[in-house]
Amino acid sequence: MKKHIAIIVMTLLTTAAVAQQANYNLIVGTYTAPGKSEGIYTYRFDASKGQAVLKHTTKGTANPSYSAISPDKKFVYAVNETGESSTVSAFKYDAKTGGLTFLNKVDSHGADPCFITVDGKNVIVANYSGGSLAVFSRKADGSLTEAIQVVKHTGKSIDPKGRQESAHVHMTKFSPDHKHLIVNDLGEDKIYIYKYNATGKDKTLTEKAVVETTPGTAPRHITFAPNGKFAYLAHEFNGMITVFSYADGSLTKIQEVGTTPKNFSGKVDGADIHVSADGKFLYETNRGDANSISAFSILSTGKLKFIETISTLGNGPRNFTIDPTGKYLLVAHQYTNDVVIFKRNPVTGKLTDSSQRIDVGAPVCLVFDK
């Protein structure tokens, strides 16, 4: 009898553990104005069904477009994209409830911050309109200091529509070895590579190299292969992807591929780019008139082989993410106010509509608590 009871208890515990592993928190950053969003949303994502249920809404924070979770999962940091008055906010994070408790906010030292990254020591933001990046130190309670370093870019490039008349820092991302910070400047058509010293205070970042990209293409987002040997850059103006080999803070171009049909004549507006956790597939989204996502297989050389381009089933796909199980890919649509959940085939890399949606105002950033 005792043996049977023990087996039943173990079965229940195992079932509970499996169920727990299938559930993850999904934090959604949004634009609160104009629109129907109230702030930052935390959902429980059930990876066994591809469904999301709202757990918590963090109100009273303006345009928290991009956010990041600290490595210890105790804090969340978000930009407040409000023009010249932009700030960066710190929150205490309760993973169980999904709740965010406001700690403090500080000046972003540049208009319209559009990306944020965090490690154990610092928070770094990219200020798009301000053409700068700013480094903030994290206090023991998770709150932020005032900026300990601000780096201002001052160049421009050739876009005839005036989108490159000044620097526009669009992304700050750590290299795989965490020794460098990769910074895309859309306005200058350049990638800056900075040496990173986590305790360097006003010398946290020191410039190591600058990579020139094709003039008038606007480097936006970059991602790395899991092995750290290759990087993939998405260009906003034409949706092209540049493939680089990467080693010790150096990028070497090895391929460039397109993401739209040859006869496509509309506005592209490349948006986001990510590699699957197994390193086998790469995905890239386009906005504008395209509203598409392209899938590529990654060869052993790091180069890309085209698989397919399909509709994202919404308007204005910004950030997208692959869930921790790799079974789903979620796309945030800024203008149709929803997140479309695709099923992802881990063998072919292809996507199919799961028919699941998240109804949320102006979503632009999706972050899983893994």
Amino acid letter, 116: I
Cβ-based burial of 128 (10 A; exposed 0-12, middle 13-18, buried ≥19): buried
Report, as an integer, the average pLDDT of 200-229. 98
First to last CA, the chain: 39
Share of the chain above pLDDT 70, in %: 94
β-pairing, 23-30 with 363-369? antiparallel
- The per-residue pLDDT for 370 is 80
Report, as an integer, the average pLDDT of 314-338. 98
State whether residue 127 is helix, strand or coil.
strand
Amino acid letter, 360: V
Q: How many CA atoms lie within 13 A of 262 on its CB side?
A: 0
Q: What is the pLDDT of residues 218-263, one digit of tens each?
A: 999 999 999 999 999 999 999 999 999 999 999 999 999 999 998 8
With contact defined as beta carbons under 8 Å apart, do 56 and 42 qualify? Answer: yes
Please list, in sequence order, all residues whose beta carbon lies within 8 angstroms of the beta carbon of residue 65, skipping any fewer than 6 positions away. 29, 30, 31, 78, 79, 81, 114, 364, 365
Check pLDDT > 50 for residue 183. yes
**Residue 17 banded pLDDT, cuts 50, 70, 90:** very low
Q: Cβ–Cβ contacts within 10 Å for residue 288, how many?
A: 19
Q: What is the pLDDT of residues 111-149, one digit of tens each?
A: 999 999 999 999 999 999 999 999 999 999 999 999 999
**Residue 6 banded pLDDT, cuts 50, 70, 90:** very low
Check pLDDT > 90 for residue 12. no
For residue 267, the surrounding DSSP H or E stretch is none
For residue 8, the surrounding DSSP H or E stretch is helix 2-21
- The per-residue pLDDT for 14 is 37
- The per-residue pLDDT for 294 is 98
Mean pLDDT rounded to a whole number for the chain:
94
Q: What is the pLDDT of residues 346-355, one digit of tens each?
A: 999 999 999 9
Check pLDDT > 70 for residue 289. yes
Residue environment code for 295-313, b if the CB has 16+ CB neighbours within 10 A, otherwise e: bbebeeebebeebebeebb
CA 165 remoteness from chain centre? 25
pTM of the shown model: 0.94
Q: Cβ–Cβ contacts within 10 Å for residue 361, how many?
A: 18
Amino acid letter, 327: K
Tokens of 325: 């199980």
**Residue 34 banded pLDDT, cuts 50, 70, 90:** confident
Q: Cβ–Cβ contacts within 10 Å for residue 174, how many?
A: 16
- The per-residue pLDDT for 8 is 41
The DSSP string of 38-93 is: -EEEEEEEETTTTEEEEEEEEES-S----EEE-TTSSEEEEEE--GGG-EEEEEEE
Check pLDDT > 90 for residue 164. yes
What is the fold of 61-210?
Methylamine Dehydrogenase; Chain H (2.130.10)
Rg (CA), the chain: 20
Q: What sign has the CA pseudo-torsion 54, 58, 63, 68?
A: negative
Q: Length of the chain in residues, anyone?
A: 370
Check pLDDT > 50 for residue 19. no
User: 311 has which bridge partners?
Assistant: 292
State whether residue 99 is helix, strand or coil.
strand
Spans of all domains in the chain? 61-210
- The per-residue pLDDT for 224 is 98
Nearest of 9, 43, 7, 128 to residue 79 by alpha carbon: 128
Tokens of 89: 């906010």
Check pLDDT > 70 for residue 67. yes
Nearest of 278, 268, 269, 270 to residue 322 by alpha carbon: 278
Tell how many helices (H) and how many strands (E) occur in the chain.
1, 28
- The per-residue pLDDT for 332 is 98
**Residue 35 banded pLDDT, cuts 50, 70, 90:** confident
Check pLDDT > 80 for residue 5. no
